[in-house]
Structure 1
Amino acid sequence: MTETVRTDAGSGTSAVVSGVGTGFAAVTMAALVVPIRRGVEAPSVWAGAAFAIVCVLAFLASRRTGIDRRIVSAVAAVSSAVVVIVSAYALNQGITASVPLPIGSWSLSLVFVAFFTAGLTAGIGVAQFVGIDGGGLKDRSLHTTSLTVLGLGGLVAAQVATALVALPLMLVIGTLSLTQLVVVSQLGMALGTGAVAIGYLVYRGDGLSYLDLEMPTVRDALWIVAGVFVLFGALMAISAVFYTVGVESSEHGTAQQAQTNPEILLVLIPASLLIIGPFEELLYRNVIQKSLYETFSRYGAVVVGSVVFAIVHVLAYGTAGPGEVIASLGVIFGLSLVLGTIYERTENLVVPAVIHGIYNAILFTNLYAMYA
């Protein structure tokens, strides 16, 4: 695999970066201070506000001469990361601190605003820590946004392809059963996701050589075995932490359908190995993560790519509240870090695709044993 990794070495940290960081940190602080002033006494909100204040002070300090910017940047990044965690916890516990919007009956959760802006602020803190200037921050932000749109485009394309496959069938055989719809949706996912991935490569002018498809070696086989164990280990560790602190996650839409229609799992088990694992890894690892190598460090690309991967799973958990959805996306993010790291280490798409497929197949098999 060959790619160009862009850096801003020697460019120095622009005051623009600390200014943007200060702005987002101030928004985060305000979003948490306002609920406190209105009587919210939740410790998680108070802790978030305290760390947001620390983050603002750290960014302000980074603008002064004679202060080690790496240290204060690290403080800003860590403080923001803590705000992300505690605000997510507050949302999970039902603390939203919503305020009405002037448009219709809509409202805005201040705690969610803090969660979102603190995530951005953490990224800016890391950027300042590694010496990225204002231009570099802009380039990376635009690249991340465009690839997030690409990832969401894969989701939309899968739905469109599913409809294009389903409509002719319905004209011929009538209403499709749920199992038939699942078969069609898997075909649609393969067609839609594959079309977006290949279409993007054609748009960039890259050939099929961009795809990291190689026959697995013995080393790759060892990575696959280890990867499956690590994925399930990570799942159990995250679940144990959630149980200990009382965090509730939402159930995947497929699991909800399987409770009353377990036969769909007989479709999803082989589809995990043949479609879900290969095509999701194709788009989100071989295309999106690899493209991120051009503007981020390789491990930075793993993290950013995992954020994109988590975002596109929002609809799969959309029936629950925001706190439960965020918890579920946190699990997806953690598992994606494992898959992304394995892809970065092996540089062979087959490895994470097989691991992903085996992982999903085992989960679906377990669900079938429960509900059948």
Structure 2
Amino acid sequence: MTDPSSGGPTPDGGVSEEFDDVDPDAVSGDADGPGSTDGSPGVAVAVALVLGVLGPVIALVSGVAIFAIDAAVGGLSLAASVVLTLIFGQYVAFGGLAMGYLAWRGFDREGIVSYLGVRVPSLKEVGIVLGSWVLILISVLVVSTIVRLLGTETAANSSAELAMGNPSIIPLFIAASFLVIGPCEEILYRGVVQGRLRESLSAVPSILLSAAIFAAIHVIALTGGVSAQLTTVSILFVPSLVFGAVYEYTGNLVVPALLHGLHNAVLFTVLYVTVTQVDPSELPAILGFLPV
């Protein structure tokens, strides 16, 4: 995490002040040093929005490229297609964009690690991951139950639908949750988007905005009507908030990355057991809300 009063990386990569306030008028960073930015909140929000939207755009473009490759070779296997999608749609679109942005700002490798707050989690932080996952599970179950009681339609997640139709690839998704999806999406949406917002805004609006951006970009992975998609995005906002709060509290990007990976992996595991052992029509609605 960055020190919001200076815009530079926290020297010791330590735990950030929880929900502390910053001076919105403070200019981030040394004017001539690496990582220096315009301290304007408006600029911070604009940059966060551009980065948050650009990631999915790159992912969509890469999807077109993979489709072209598939046509050129006469058809890729499903596993190969999924692996290519993960590489280009996650490593390149999200992780690559985040690293490229920080490099463009002048951070070297050590500076990037310090800015993001990447370090081996402590035992306490592992406990935070587990406790936060329980909180997410309970919160999403409560919200999704309320949605069902209200009779509101929800959208389906394309990844969940693909997995339901092809259970053999679910183990790949489970592994990818920890190795690809969690790390790449958290690097961009918590490390860079939320981190950039924190250079000019206090913790609460930064967490809310980054969570809103992250939840909203999932529209590209949802199927159904506009109303159903908006409902599902609203539900996805819940785990997004927890990811952001955990990052703010610990200052360690590995923690929300593990939490994100754990959440997705558990849902994919439940999906696998349900599809292979139970009537798919009995799948709980929560499986449509995979924040992948």
TM-score (ref. length: structure 2): 0.76
Identity of aligned residues (%): 35
Distance 2:66 2:75 in 1: 13
- 2:54 is aligned to 153
CA shift for structure 1 position 240: 1.9
Structure 1, residues 187-236: CA drift from partner, whole Å, max 9, x if none? 11112211100111122223323121111111111111101111111111
Q: 2:96 aligns with which of 195, 205, 214?
A: 195
**Residue ranges of structure 1 left out of the alignment (5+ in a row):** 10-137
Listed as ranges, the matches of 1:3-42 within 5 Å are: 3-4=4-5, 5-7=22-24
By percentage of residues, which structure has more helix?
Answer: 1
Match of 1:313 in 2: 218
Tell me the equivalent position of 2:117.
212
Describe how 1:175-194 pairs up with structure 2 within 5 A: 175-188=75-88, 189-194=90-95
Q: 2:208 touches 2:241 (CA, 8 Å); kept in 1?
A: yes
Q: How big is the shift at 1:180?
A: 2.1
Question: In structure 2, what is the equivalent of residue 347 of structure 1?
Answer: 251
- The correspondence of residues 1-372 of structure 1 with structure 2, limited to 5 A, is 1=1, 2-4=3-5, 5-7=22-24, 139-161=40-62, 174-188=74-88, 189-206=90-107, 207-208=111-112, 209-317=114-222, 319-372=223-276
* Amino acid corresponding to residue 4 of structure 2 in structure 1: E
2:60 and 2:155 map into 1 onto residues whose CA distance is 22
Per the TM alignment, residue 242 of structure 1 is displaced from its structure 2 partner at its CA by: 1.0
Kindly state the Cα deviation for residue 166 of structure 1 after the two structures are TM-superposed.
Answer: 7.0
Which has the larger Rg? 1
Deviations 1:237-258 (A, max 9, x none): 1112212322221110112222
- Tell me which of the two structures has the higher relative contact order, counting C-alpha pairs closer than 8 angstroms and 6 or more residues apart: 2
CA change 1:160–1:321 in 2 (3 A) is closer
**Paired letter, 2:145:** A
CA contact (8 A) 1:314 1:329 kept: yes
When residues 198 and 225 of structure 1 are mapped into structure 2, their CA distance, relative to the original with a 3 A threshold, is: same
Kindly tell me: are residues 315 and 166 of structure 1, through their superposed partners in 2, closer, same or farther at Cα, counting changes over 3 Å? closer
One-letter amino acid of the structure 2 residue matched with residue 280 of structure 1:
E
Query: AA paired with 1:357?
Result: G
| Corresponding pairs, count | 242
CA deviation map 1:311-352 (0-9, x unaligned):
2111111x2111110110001111101110011001001111
Displaced runs of 4 or more, over 4 A: 161-171
What is the RMSD computed on CA atoms of the aligned residues? Answer: 2.2
